[in-house]
């Protein structure tokens, strides 16, 4: 996988969905979202 930057919003979203398909993106807290993105 290529290195992601903050400009790769669509790729980040798809990667997060693949990693956490059970998570509703409309209910996730920003702090949890931030941790998940950094973990990619």
Report the 3 state secondary structure along the chain. Answer: CCCCCCCCHHHHHHHHHHHCCCCCCCCCCHHHHHHHHHHC
Phi, psi of 33 (to 5 degrees): -60, -45
Give yes or no for residue 38 having a pLDDT over 70.
yes
In a domain, 2, yes or no: no
Q: CATH code at 17?
A: 1.10.10.600
pLDDT higher than threshold 70 for residue 1: no
Q: What is the mean predicted confidence (pLDDT) over 5-9?
A: 91
Name the domain count of the chain.
1
Q: Which domain holds residue 23?
A: 9-39
Has residue 25 been placed in a domain?
yes
pLDDT digits (tens, 9 = 90+) for 12-32: 999 999 999 999 989 999 999
Q: Is residue 34 part of a domain?
A: yes
40 touches 16 (CB < 8 A) = yes
**Residue 4 belongs to some domain of the structure:** no
The predicted model scores a pTM of 0.75
């Amino acid at each position: 996988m290529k290195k992601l930057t903050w400009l790769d919003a669509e790729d980040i979203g798809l990667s997060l969905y693949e990693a956490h398909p059970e998570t509703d993106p409309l209910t996730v807290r920003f702090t949890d979202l931030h941790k998940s993105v950094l973990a990619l």
